[in-house]
Structure 1
Amino acid sequence: MKKELDEYLYEWTINLSNESKHRLSAHEIGEALQLTRSTVSSYLNQAVREGELVKIKSYPVLFLHKKALLAAKFTLSKQEYLSLDELLSEGQNHALAEIIGANGSLKEAIDQIKTAVLYPHNGLPILLMGMSGSGKTFLAERIHQYAIEEQVISGEAPFISYNCAQYYNNPELLSSALFGHTKGAFTGADQTHYGLIEKAHGGILFLDEVHRLSEEGQEKLFTFMDTGEFSPMGDTSIRRRADVRLIFATTENVYATFLPTFLRRLPVIVNLPKFQHRPQSERLSLIDSFYIAESNILEKELQVSSHLIDFLLNSDLEGNVGKIKNIIKYACGSAYVHQKDKEVIQVRLRDLPLEFSLKFKEQFSKPKKKLPDRRYLPNTPQQIYLESKQIQLLKEFFWEMLAEFKKVQHQASSPTSFIEAMANRVTQIMDEFMFQETYKKEESFYSVLTYHIRQTIDIMYENYGFEQDGHRAVSLASYLYLKDNKDILGSHYEWTEQKVALLEFLNATLENTYWYAKKLLSHLSQQLDQELFEEDIVFVAFYFYSLHINDLPSEVKSIVLAHGYSTASSLANVVNRMLEKNVFQAYDMPINITLEKVESQIIRYINEYRTDAGLILLVDMGSFNQLGERLAKHIQSPMVIIDNVSTPLVLEVGHHIVSGHSITEIYEAISVEKRIQKQLIIPEINKKKAIITCCYTGLGSATQIQEILLKCLGESAKELVILPYDYKKLLQNKLYEAPFQLYDVLMIVGTESPKIHQVPYISLDKLINGEAVEEFADLLHAQVDLDPQVLKSRLIFNFSINKIVENLTILDANKVLLLVQRAVKEMEALMGIDFSNNQLFLLYMHCCSMIERILRKETVDEQEDIEEYVQREGQNIELIHKAFQEVEKEYTIDLPLLELRLLNDIVKE
């Protein structure tokens, strides 16, 4: 048993990928080897303790063979990791893993490239797309190194780089350069010339600016890609062969530049992001690598000013990475010329080329937080990061949080236990930050932080009742000071995948504390002129939850507006003191103020403060009643206006607000004399039509339903709001929830009815299987011009896309599914069949995987009775084959009989 288990783990670990990783869970291992889960778990955990396996504490828990990881050149620093991403972040010592962003913004690109390089025979052609200077040539060179490391080409295999722009005005010379020519092929061809394809035999040919190729050149190339053969210019009777791996690069839109027949031969198209579109951590790593290179060349220690680093980090320059590299080279050279006799070279803003010195002045007019200069030492392969224990502690927390949240998404852990566990971890971290004297509290920036946090909490107390607390301010200051505005999760793969779902989850489950955290940190980022990271909002939200700050007032808001220097302020102040609570805001207004200015003040208040429960305006003149009409288009919740304001009136309204009465209850309760007017304005006119999506498993699934409905309805629903919402809140609070105040809700679509009888509910299952499509279309008929049959087709298509994307690695899911959809429609027409929704879904899934399987040269199991089957079902097989002719032509494949048989079985069943 041990030997079988060992072999299984080694094989799946050595071939580890995102698609295959689930094979390494205890459940999957037990299934594969027909062993009980308890037996497998016992052995696996014992092997971890003995150092034979590496444990990944994700969901599900994975077990990786240590020797296989070492053979795959992984750097292992410990026995257990919180996530597979954490293991990958330590890196494999191969050419692609060392690329900055390999586990961040370039992760998908690297995965595509590995697939292309390791594909049998000569791999798959690769097209690199990206703006000038984004690193296409550098990446092509690394692909060559990776191919050598993986032994798919020899260590001496050539790497030939050629820029097609050199001869794009002369197709003959370009064709000659690529394919060679015979003697006398054209004027001046006085001897036979061997082209780049022949010279690159056994290796890689990199063609930069390939969009310069003429159509004829593209045709010659794709003929070579199909057959491996080519003819030199001047003699088409000569057929030569060459084994060459092709990498192309372009800065242009491929669909507007290349022949469709050429594009069909490019299964791997890799997009490289601009420098400014990459996470800050990656931009800084790139900058570091260039300074290290210059330090090695100059053989001097470089000390680079933080202002210069900041400028390079935040500049959006033509030329991207290449331009940054050249600026750094010039600045280091300029500094070296003036300081070559010094041991340490100071590189400052003055060393920039003149044009960039001017750009710095334009770009950075505001004073910034003073950061330490960065040091770069010669003879070092990479920047030495002196990462603090506090940053390491935060990294471990965030990785653990992502791993635990994944369990919540897979229903392996409850949301409550997740929140409690994370809040406890945050409390421990905060205690450690507070009670370990790792920094001097009198340092200037710590003092600045503490001051601004206290000021912000004061503002939040006045406006939202957020209690001031000295411990709170010091804890937050410690966290922000020690974190030093670092973006810990910016390039983390699982963070980019889960961020939206996690933030929506926290917004729904920690509504009050999440809102407090977001408000406080947003205000601080403006005051300190530094970036706001969503990871900080998450951390601080858990911290506030641990302090039991859940009393965000959802009460009605009220403003007193009166003419005079202090009339409104006096009224509001007196009543607030009597109520012992900050209930009223005051606006003191000049006598000659216009309605427009008053309106703008109130709109500013509505945008700044939460008025979900409603807003009451207590005004001193009847003329202000006109505000109702003017503000109706801006409000998203009810508003009451009462004129002839007085102390008793303000006090009466205040008592109702403090008692927790709703705005409609207050409106009904306030009795006014004839000379006093009151009006209730409901935001009916501007209410948008909406569909609410919900799922009892949480917001993540509700969001998926939203995305699919948006795709199905397309442009026709641009005026329609499709809103994912918390199922439990809908079930508990019914029509009192915010969406019903803000929108005209047409229906609820979900996996479980929240039992709101006034609003139609459509089950997702019935929508997909077609039973409720007519009802769905009827409810939308006034807003969307919708054909029920078209909707049904789109629903199946879009639900298929979600599943197909998980299984395809080479093909573009949207493109292949469109072709398959056309083929299946043709099958229906030829065979005179109307497929059920379940058959359509199964056919879409099967056919997309089948096409990729054929392209990968993978086969299905042999079938001994195939001849007998063909004799019996030959007519059907012929019709199916005919329906898939366009697919065969598009991907240059032939559907074998074994695959056609599987399709026929699906049709018959």
Structure 2
Amino acid sequence: MKRIDKIYRRLLHNFREVTLNQLLKIQGNSAKEIAEQLKMERSNVSFELNNLVRSKKAIKVKTFPVRYVPVEVVERTFNMKWNTEKMEVDELHQCSGNQKRVPRKISTNPLELMIGAKGSLKKAISQAKAAVFYPPHGLHMLLLGPTGSGKSLFANRIYQFAIYSDILKPGSPFITFNCADYYNNPQLLLSQLFGHKKGSFTGADEDKAGLVEQADGGILFMDEIHRLPPEGQEMLFYFIDSGAYNRLGETEHRRTSKVLFICATTENPGSALLKTFLRRIPMTIHIPSLEERSLKERVELTTFLLGKEAERIKKNLNVHIDVYNALIHSATFGNVGQLKSNVQLVCAHGFLHHLDRDDVVELTVRDLPDDIKQDWISSSKNIERSKMISEYVNITTIISPIVEDETTKIDDDLSFNLYDLIEEKVNILNKEGLSKKEINQYILTDLHLHVRSFFHQRTFQNYNLLKFADDEVIRLTKELKEVAEHELNCKFDRKFIYFLSMHIDAFLKRGKQTDVLNAQETDEIRDTYVKEYQVALIFKDKIQEYCRVVVPEIEVIYLTMLIQSIKSLEANKRVGIVVAAHGNSMASSMVDVAIELLGSTPIAAVDMPLSVSPSQIMERLEAKIKQVDEGEGVLMLVDMGSLAMLGTKLEEKTGINIKTISNVTTSMVLDAVRKVNYLNLNLHAIYESVTKDFTELWGRTPQSPGKQKALVSICTTGSGTAKKLEEILTTIVNQAADDPIKILTVSSIKLANSIKEIEKEYEILATVGTKNPKINAPHVSLEVLIEGEGERMIHQAITKGTVPPGDGLAGTNIMVRELCEDSLKKYLVFLNPYHIIDILLEWLQTIQDELGIMLNNAVMIKVIMHTAFAFERVIKDHPIAFSEEDAIDDQLKKVYHITERTLKPYEQKLGLAISEDEKLFIAAIFAEELHGQMF
């Protein structure tokens, strides 16, 4: 017997003697109930039940959860012929002929239906039940949990549970209020909460009921309660105490309301809320993050979200286990909210690839967005993770549409059907004659715009920009906004004025814009964003006319990028920012200003009271760096140079690429956040831009007695090599110096005159490069710098003789790291270049200790490059052969065994085993160096 026939027979059997009242009460069987009876997978049962609906043999009843009943059972029980045009109904009552409609009541405990009810949410559900039942009217609750963890959903389920338990009547109000919407406007807040009387303020044209009045006899959900100002908290706790209130402008009439409050926050309530307010909220409930949930729960959440997308598409999904693997581990910072966003993107990709199929949409690795796919490809734990996931899903799992009951479902983020939009756009583009490849690229770009913007976008508050940009600049920006809207035929909100004002203000104050893009990149921007570039040229003319300055071409390119970024709101992976400063709230204050003024970004503060130990500082920094990392590295802005020295150790601990800038200020934090959010620069480009901008500002501030210190980089052309040399020197300076040191680049052709001019203004600590100017300062040639000793010499020149740390990773590996990074970023396809360099540097330290040798930088670079590509060749399955059999002597064999033994833990870490021949090549490099150091 086929599976579908077994399921249909079970349905018939379950309702063979059902009465009308029984059928109206239970409404049918759920997929889970049938699966447990037949000992089948729920997803497979759901698939076949939906096939029965399509074949008009069963009716789908969209309760919570969805239920199914055979058509013949309904026809027999109702004594009527079923209308087969209507195979999906909200409830059977409406189709029961002349039968009296039974009042609707939730028949299943909504809290127990939540994923994790018997696991990670068990304690939270127990607390919620206790709060709802507490006499006489329940306890007010505070939900704590990170962004995207499901606090709003949990609040809604508490409301449904109160109805289910007869604590609230069916149809009782559930009102949601986001406190951030009325931040810093007490009068408007008062009006929203308690209502107002006609004429109580300008614009109050009629009497209006407030939220506490609308929520009478029900629940008022206060989201982001930490954004409620102290005045607002005081208003609320007076109402909580007495249950009485007045509308704004009303004095003679005293009103009462019975409201149960559920509040939610992502912040520490002890520091974000008044103690007097907290005392009125006795029940605190922690909602776990996605990371705190078990693998089983994460699989169930992913399955549920996929089922919701299947309902949108109106097709079944056939999901490969690798897609589950990638999705479950893709939500690194946004919890269930980000997981939902990623599921929508994957389904949208799959839907686009299977537009020609009516029955099912297959989701495979190729349907993963590039960033999720890259993370999945580069992970060494995929086999282990897939094995664990296989306990809960098959190699391919069929997922059918999930429809929640109207009374229990949460409003969706997307107010339109994304899949209808895709079909409509594909049809339009087909008619215009575009190729399938062009259409796919166009639609996929659009998908990222729509889906990601819903997750990342935040309400933008109206803060005092005048503190950070001149009034004249703001007036100019408003004119530019009108120009952009006219030329691009679109509307911008006030974010445009904020970001463009700050950008222009920064350009005017610094006098010039640092060029961190090469010619190829700038040409690509001009060609890609033609309209935006034309608008930026108009901006250039107006800025030059208005401010009487010369606007260079690189600034036009940046304006183009800024216009495009604000226009599209496309949220790619961004560089994270950690601000660390000594004192009780110095870092937090700077971060708060940046967030309030520039909106959401991956940024965190680390406040360091003087009582905190160094080990605690390291732990806090490590935690915050992991928190803000989205895969593009982290920029650390610190107040003292001593903190900058921790960058390498933190890189080692976290495996995250980190750049550090000292002497942090609020302006520096704002500049970094602006560049992260709206210029889409990578970590290196942001670091270079912020460093140069603020080094120039430091250079123009009054100096203490004596000249400003400088390092001079000398190069033949002053272009490519000079730029790389400048990067390396900047990294060394950041590790060695507490005070600002200028890095100057000069051409060796004009060296004689240039060096004399520099000596007049600066104290030259050392010169580095292709030609020795023969002045009273140490000179380091490129050869010496590359070999390793030069880095130590520069460090000694900066610190006046202090020797840098000699632990290998923290001391002499800047050159190795910088030079290897450049090559590996270009040529590695599957491996993460930053991660593999960290691993191989650690291994090199071990093998040097084992062999009793010291490798210079040139040899270390050679080994790292060879070994990194050896690991890459394992993935590609293209190992190279060691053909020099006669060269394998006793010494090489001995070195080979040490190489093999020390490399093994790192092979296990990466999940990749290098071949014997590859290891012989590596061992031969060590053997040659060992032989050279013996003689």
The TM-score with structure 2 as length reference comes to 0.31
